[in-house]
Amino acid sequence: MSLTVEAIRDCLDGAVPAIVATCAADGTPNTSYVSEVHFVDHDHVALSFQFFNKTRENVLANPSATVIVIDPQTAAQYRLALRYLRTETEGPLFERMKAKLSGIASHTGMAGVFRLLGSDVYRVLSIERIPAGELPAPPRRSLLAPLRVSSDRLSRCATLGQLLDEFLASLEQGFDIHHAMVLALDAPGERLYTIASRGYEASGVGSEIPVGVGVIGVAAAQRTPIRINHMTSDYAYGRAVRESAERSGWGSMLETTIPFPGLAGTRSQLAVPIIAGGRLLGVLYVESPEDFRFRYDDEDALVALSAQLGMAMHAQEQAAESEEPPATAAQRSAPARGAPAIVRHYSADGSVFIGDDYLIKGVAGCIFRKLLSDYSREQRTEFSNRELRLDSSIRLPDIADNLEARLILLEKRLAERCEFLRIEKTGRGRFRLRVDRPFKLVDVPG
Amino acid sequence: MVQASPALPLLDEEHAAFIQGGVSINAASSGPGNLPAVSRALGCRVSADRRRVTVFLAVSRSAALLEAISASRRIAVAFSLPSTHRTIQLKGTDAALAAIETGDHELAERYTRAFASDLAAAGYSEVVARTLLAHQRSDLAAVEFSPTAAFTQTPGPGAGAPLKRT
C-alpha cells in the first residue's frame, strides 16, 4: 500500500523545518526551508506562506514542488511530490496554521519574523520513504482504549453536572491530561464562559473569553481545533483578554470579571469546539506545562470525545425542557434564621452582588434574581427549566440557548462564593433553591 | 542577482567558512517536465580560489536529483545554520558529478559532527541529526559546480537579496 499523509503526520507537527524545492518557468531550481507543512487530509498538505520569496513566485508560475519532511523522533525522511492548488488567507485551516506557526516562531526565536500570510494548499502526488537510517520509534500508547472507556463513562451520565465531571475526570485518568476546562457559548454575548474545570487552583467557573480571542476564542469563531505546541505570547490569556474587554466596552465592568484559571507558563494548548447538530455549544480547552504535549492523535481523540460530549449536552438540554414531576411534593421550607444578607441585582447587566462580593451577571444573574424574588414573595423553592424559559423577565436569548449550562454556572458560583444559598437538582428539568439565611433583595435600576 | 566577476569569486572567505560549517545543506535541480528534485547533502567543500563548490550526496537517496543534474546541469544549494536561521543559497548551471577526493569521507564525518552539534545547540536531538546524515562510504557521491548566483535567504525582510561580500 502506498503511503498516505496520515501515516507520516508525526513529521508534520513543525518540530523540524521541512525542505522545499521548486523550479522557475525557465527551469532554474530553488530550494528553501518551510516552517510548517500542515496535515490537511489523506492527500493534501498546506505549506506556510510567510514571505514573498522565490518559492512563492515559482509555484505560482510552475505548480510542482518537492518537499522533504523528517520524523523528529526516528529521523525517518520522506519526499513528497506536490502540486500547488490554492492559497487560503482566512478560515479554519489558516487559523490552525497561524496558531501553530506562532508557537514555532516563539520557540525558535523568530517571534515577530514568522507571520503567516497564507496557507498554500497542495495535492500530494506521491510520498517516498527515503532509504536512510532510522531510530526505533518510541513506544506509544493507543488512544483508542482510553477513548472507549471515556466514551462509556459519558454514556452513563444522567445530568449535565455529572457529564462535565466525568468528562474532565476521563481526560485526567484516561489521557493523562491534568489541566482542562469546558466553556459554554453565550451566543448573543459573543463570549464563552467556563462551566467546569479540573487541575487549577481556582476553578475559574464563570470566567469569560471573547469569541475570537486566544486559542479558545479562535477555536469557537472558526469551529476548528486550535493546537499550539510551544509557549507563545500571541495566544496568551490574561492581558489579551483584558485588552479585548476594554476595546469591546466591557472594560467598565472589570470588577465583575472572574479570573481565567489557565496555567501561567502554559507550553502546549489545544482547544476543541464542542458542536452538536451543527450548533456550537462551547469549547474544550486542555493545556500542559510541557512542550509538544498534544499531537495529531490527541487532537483526533479529543475531537471524537468532544463530539460525544456535545451530543450528550444537547440531549440533556432537550430532556430538561420536558420536566418530570417532582420526586417529592413541593416543600415550603422553614423560614431561614439570622440577620438578613443584602443581595443586589443591577438590571443594567444582570450582575448580582452578595454583600460586596460579586457573584454572577448576565442571563444567569437574571435567573438568580427571579428565584430570589419568587422566594421572597411566596417562599417558593421549587422551580422548573420550562418556567424560566417562559419568564419574560429573564430574557433568555432563544430556545437554542443552553439553559442547563447557565444553571450549572449559577450552581457552582453559589457553591464557591455564597454560604447560605444553593441550587440543587431535584429531577429532570427541575431544581430547588435552598436558603439557609434570610436575605433582602435590592434591585438597582440601570 | 550578482554575477561572478573574473576578478572576485562570489563567495568571500567568511561565506566559504559558513557553508563548510555545521549548516543544514540541501541541493535541488530541475528534472524532466520542470519537476524539482531535492536531497539533503552530506557536506560541502569549497575550492581554494572559492570559485568551485562541491556538495556530497548519498547516491541511494538522490536518484532523481542526480539524474536531473546530469540532464540539466542546473543546481541550487541552500545552506542554513539551525541555531541562527542564517541561510545562503547558491545557484549554478554547470553542475556535474565529480570524483571523491582523498579526505572527503573524513570531511563528511567532520561535517556530521558539526551539524549535530549545531542542532543540539538549537534544542534538537543530536542523535537524530547523526542518523539523518549517516551513510555508507561507498554511497557517497560528489557534485561540483561554479556558483553563478548567490542569495541571502535568512528569514526576514532581506530574504532573497543577492549575497553581499562582507
d(CA A217, CA A213): 4
Q: Residue A101 in contact with residue A116, Cβ under 8 Å?
A: yes
Chain A residues near residue B36 by CB distance under 8 angstroms? 21-23, 29-31, 64-66
DSSP A64-90: EEEEEEE-TTT--EEEEEEEEEEEE-S
Structural domain contains residue A368? yes
Q: What is the pLDDT of residue B56?
A: 98
Chain A residues near residue B153 by CB distance under 8 angstroms? 32, 53
Cβ distance of B34 and A64 shorter than 8 Å: yes
Cβ distance of A113 and B77 shorter than 8 Å: no
Verify that A214 and A291 share a domain, yes or no. Answer: yes
pTM over 0.80: yes
Verify that A264 and A357 share a domain, yes or no. Answer: no
Q: What percent of chain B has pLDDT over 70?
A: 96
Verify that A311 and A348 share a domain, yes or no. Answer: no
**Mean pLDDT of the A338-349 span:** 91
Q: Residue A421 in contact with residue A375, Cβ under 8 Å?
A: no
Least Cα separation, residue A26 to chain B (angstroms)? 8
Structural domain contains residue A433? yes
Structural domain contains residue A333? no
Least Cα separation, residue A100 to chain B (angstroms)? 17
Structural domain contains residue A317? yes
Verify that A148 and A297 share a domain, yes or no. Answer: yes
Cβ distance of A23 and B34 shorter than 8 Å: yes
**Mean pLDDT of the A431-436 span:** 94
CATH number, domain containing residue A216: 3.30.450.40
Maximum average pLDDT range among A307-321, A346-360, B62-76: B62-76
Verify that A283 and A389 share a domain, yes or no. Answer: no
Max Cα-Cα span within chain A: 91
CATH number, domain containing residue A125: 2.30.110.10
d(CA A342, CA A441): 6
Verify that A169 and A307 share a domain, yes or no. Answer: yes
Cβ distance of B38 and A31 shorter than 8 Å: yes
Verify that A112 and A186 share a domain, yes or no. Answer: no
Distance set, CA A349 to CA A252, A282, A361 (Å): 11, 22, 6
DSSP A394-414: T----TTS-HHHHHHHHHHHH
Could you write out the three-class secondary structure of A300-332? Answer: HHHHHHHHHHHHHHHHHHHHHHCCCCCCCCCCC
Maximum average pLDDT range among A227-236, B98-107, B152-161: B98-107
Q: How many domains does chain A fold into?
A: 3
Distance set, CA A214 to CA A194, A229, A270, A428, B34 (Å): 15, 14, 11, 36, 43
Asked which of A101, A129, A157 is the last residue of a domain, the reply is A129
Q: Chain A to chain B, count of Cβ pairs less than 8 Å apart?
A: 125
User: Is A105 an 8 Å CB contact of chain B?
Assistant: no
Structural domain contains residue A134? no
Domain boundaries, given as residue ranges, for chain B: 13-151
d(CA A316, CA B65): 60
Verify that A236 and A292 share a domain, yes or no. Answer: yes
| pLDDT tens digits, one per residue of A54-69 | 999 999 999 999 999 9
DSSP state of A255: G
Verify that A154 and A117 share a domain, yes or no. Answer: no
Verify that A312 and A413 share a domain, yes or no. Answer: no
Q: What is the pLDDT of residue A331?
A: 57
Structural domain contains residue A335? no
Verify that A314 and A173 share a domain, yes or no. Answer: yes
Lowest-pLDDT range of A50-59, A331-340, B66-75, B94-103 = A331-340
| pLDDT tens digits, one per residue of B108-137 | 999 999 999 998 887 788 899 899 999 999
d(CA A432, CA A190): 30
Structural domain contains residue A332? no
CATH 2.30.110.10 for domain B13-151: yes
| pLDDT tens digits, one per residue of A179-190 | 999 999 998 888
Least Cα separation, residue A443 to chain B (angstroms)? 59
Burial class (CB in 10 A: 0-12, 13-18, 19+), B123: exposed
Lowest-pLDDT range of A100-109, A194-203, A244-253, A435-444 = A244-253
Chain A residues near residue B29 by CB distance under 8 angstroms? 29
Beta-strand (E) ranges in chain B? 24-30, 36-40, 44-46, 53-58, 75-80, 87-92, 96-98, 140-145, 149-152
Structural domain contains residue A330? no
Residue listed under C-alpha cell 508557537: A103
Predicted ipTM? Answer: 0.94
Average of per-residue pLDDT values in chain A: 89
| pLDDT tens digits, one per residue of A6-62 | 999 989 987 788 999 999 999 999 999 998 999 999 999 999 998 888 999 999 999
Verify that A246 and A376 share a domain, yes or no. Answer: no
User: Which of A16, A31, A104 to mutate: most B Cβ within 10 Å?
Assistant: A31
Q: Structural domain of residue A29, as residue ranges?
A: 6-129
